């Protein structure tokens, strides 16, 4: 198990975070033994017997690291905002999986007028904490509706007046006749480290942080 000593576990999610983290590992001369996108294995050994990768849901990465099942992980800032940060350090912005958390409404809707109308805006989002802070800072009254996906649908069927969602190309918004009207936050993925592991396994963990850092220069 991860706790039993001589090796390090890094939690990654499939898709863009895994893909964009591999170059950092290659920079250390490390390759994965199996391709997690093809094999169904959730524990993937690497060419470094001291490092293994576990494949978890993007939003679960902080949990594995906080609870000591992994020493390190890569997680989107969106995920980190929604999670509590107890026991986590965020030493590096890896500048990968870049996108923006945005407010979007149906095409033709006057967002400013809607905000200024004084009536409570219904906002559907997976990013409840980020959205709550954003509208509170604007002094706007909102009812937040927690969704787990397909946020774009909510304004189309009258569930919400606006959504808060991640946007990169804007293609998904456009396909659903929505427009981004306001930025909530710039998002990128971060290297996260358990503060306990950094102390207890410093000799194994610090060199990995250093190697990621060197690749960023």
Q: Which positions touch ligand ADP (CB under 6 A)?
A: 13, 15-17, 57-58, 76, 78-79, 97-99, 166, 168, 187, 189
Pick from 49, 55, 5, 51: nearest CA to 24: 51
What is the phi-psi region of residue 15: left when phi exceeds 0, alpha when psi lies from -120 to 50, beta otherwise?
Answer: left
Q: Estimate to the nearest angstrom the gap between the alpha carbon of 45 and the chain centroid.
A: 23
Nearest-approach distance from CB 189 to ligand ADP, in angstroms: 6
CB of 96 closer than 8 Å to CB of 168: no
* Residue closer to ligand ADP (CB basis): 22 or 114: 22
* Residue closer to ligand ADP (CB basis): 16 or 215: 16
Q: Half-sphere exposure of 199 toward its Cβ, with a 13 Å CA cutoff?
A: 6
Structure tokens at 35: 């391709």
Residue nearest to ligand ADP (CB): 76
Q: How far apart are CA 31 and CA 50, in angstroms?
A: 12
* Residue closer to ligand ADP (CB basis): 14 or 196: 14
Listed in sequence order, the DSSP H helices in the chain are 16-26, 61-66, 77-82, 111-116, 128-138, 153-156, 171-175, 195-200, 202-216
* Residue closer to ligand ADP (CB basis): 49 or 149: 149
């Amino acid at each position: 198990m991860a706790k039993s000593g001589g090796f390090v576990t890094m939690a990654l999610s499939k898709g863009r975070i895994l893909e964009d983290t591999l170059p950092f590992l290659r920079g250390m001369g490390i390759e994965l033994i199996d391709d997690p996108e093809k094999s169904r294995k959730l524990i993937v050994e690497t060419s470094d017997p001291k490092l293994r990768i576990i494949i978890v849901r993007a939003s679960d990465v902080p949990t594995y690291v906080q609870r000591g099942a992994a020493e390190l992980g890569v997680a989107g800032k969106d995920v980190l905002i929604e999670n509590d940060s107890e026991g986590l350090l965020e030493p590096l912005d890896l500048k990968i999986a870049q996108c923006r958390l945005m407010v979007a409404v149906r095409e033709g809707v006057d967002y400013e007028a809607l905000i200024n109308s004084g009536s409570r805006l219904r906002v559907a989002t997976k990013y409840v904490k980020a959205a709550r802070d954003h509208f509170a800072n604007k002094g706007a009254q909102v009812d937040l509706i927690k969704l787990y996906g397909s946020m774009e649908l909510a304004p189309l069927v009258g569930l919400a007046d606006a959504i808060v969602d991640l946007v990169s190309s804007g293609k998904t918004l456009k396909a659903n006749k929505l427009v981004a009207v306001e930025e909530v936050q710039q998002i990128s993925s971060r290297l996260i480290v358990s503060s306990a592991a950094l102390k207890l396994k410093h000799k194994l963990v610090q060199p990995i942080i250093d190697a990621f850092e060197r690749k960023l220069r």
